Amino acid sequence: MSLAALTLLAQHGLDWHEIDSVVVQGGDHLRTFSEPVESRRRPANPATAANSVFFAVAKALVNGEVVLEQGEHVGGYAGRVLRSGPDLRQR
């Protein structure tokens, strides 16, 4: 999902500030990383964030990559994007 977000940014020359919403679509396996929806969209702790497809996509959009070494905590910039930025939801 994160790679797809980065690819779209590059292909269309977008900046994450220009994005109003993101729809994450995938098979049943995605449920592990997107449900319960509210806690995955607004992770309260690093463990929930690490297992959230929404947080991973937000980090990709904000940071331009998602790597383990970033170690960004939930209150960091990607966390703020999830709270106030584009509407990320699953379909």
Phi, psi angles (nearest 5°) of residue 22: -135, 130
5 touches 24 (CB < 8 A): no
Q: Give the number of other CB atoms < 10 A from CB of residue 74.
A: 20
**How many CA atoms, within 13 angstroms, populate the side-chain half-sphere of residue 31?**
3
CA geometry: angle 85, 88, 90, nearest 5 deg: 175
* pLDDT of 11 over the 60 cut: yes
pLDDT tens readout for residues 74-89: 555 555 555 555 555 5
Distance CA 79, CA 19 (A): 16
Stretch 14-20: mean pLDDT: 82
Chain-wide mean pLDDT for the chain?
Answer: 75
Between 51 and 66, the higher pLDDT residue: 51
Between 67 and 22, the higher pLDDT residue: 22
The structure tokens 């779209």 sit at 8
Which percentage of the chain shows pLDDT scores above 70?
70
pTM, entire model = 0.69
